Amino acid sequence: MASKSKKTILTVAVTGNLTTIEQHPGLPCTPEQIANAALESAKAGAAIAHLHVRHPDGKPSMELAHYREVVERIRDKNSELIINLTTGPGGRFVPSKDDPKIAGPGTSILHPLKRVEHIVELKPEIATLDLNTMWSGSAAVINTPDNVTIMANEIQKAGSKPELEVFDSGDIQLANHLLDTGVLKGPPLFQIVMGVRFGFISTPQTLMYAQSLLPKDAEWAAFAIGRWEFPMVAQAWILGGHVRVGMEDNVYISKGKLTPSNAALCEKAVRILDDMGAELATAKEARAILGLKS
């Protein structure tokens, strides 16, 4: 159950890698739009901004210049907001239909060092570390233990805290192994991802099971995609976790109604938390809770 003395950290996931302009014409895509969405969400209560970057036409980007501009725009106006940069892109393999051992269109597999170049350069407070190997649409997401180890080492050398993205129970077992062997330094930070097909399903029972597998000293959050986004805000808090919302995960503020913005999703999450008696952590308090560099 949630601790009455523990404050809850709200993360906003601004744009992601898979949400499209066709799904929401207001999806933040340019560095300026992404930074502004993060800043508006901070005013609405978010302590952490989880950031992907895009090309201006909405296609996913991994360009250092895009990450740099977003970070600089945020820092120019808000020095407290915790920046959490993704390292997820670069792990997708699409088998060719004619020869499945050959990469087909849509493959984005990169050397693990390429996937963390922006972390090494920009040194955000948090960097995600995906531990999943699973199907995502027509692509196999591949994160081998060796590649994850390489990325974890670079993230930690940069002074960033890995946020361990876990999509199924085997991902948590990999995380626990990396913690036991000293690859990952504790106390760890987990993000439990709910609702991705072939991963954890969005039910209270599943979240309780996932949470039970985490190390005792772990800080953790959970979120669900699509219509389960807001029910999972409540469920994560009930179990003592932190929460996340944003247009990466869901573009609707209510059934059939597109959200006006990321900030609007944050405002709704804050209302839910407030109604349940939760206390929201400021960015400064979140830094202390997570043991982040100041």
Domains of the chain: 10-88+165-172+184-290 (3.20.20.70)
Separation between Cα atoms, residue 37 and residue 180, nearest integer Å: 38
Q: What residues contact 146, with CB distance under 8 A and at least 6 apart?
A: none
* pLDDT of res. 5: 55
Q: In this structure, which amino acid lies at residue 36? A: N
- Comparing CA positions, the residue from 263, 199, 197, 196 lying closest to residue 224 is 196
* pLDDT of res. 293: 73
Side-chain half-sphere exposure of 186, counting CA atoms within 13 A: 15
Question: Which residue positions in the chain have pLDDT lower than 70?
Answer: 1-5, 294
- Comparing CA positions, the residue from 133, 53, 130 lying closest to residue 88 is 130
Alpha-carbon distances, residue 169 vs 90, 141, 152, 189, 237 (angstroms): 23, 16, 19, 16, 20
* pLDDT of res. 6: 85
Tokens of 176: 């626990």
> pTM higher than 0.95, yes or no?
yes
* pLDDT of res. 281: 98
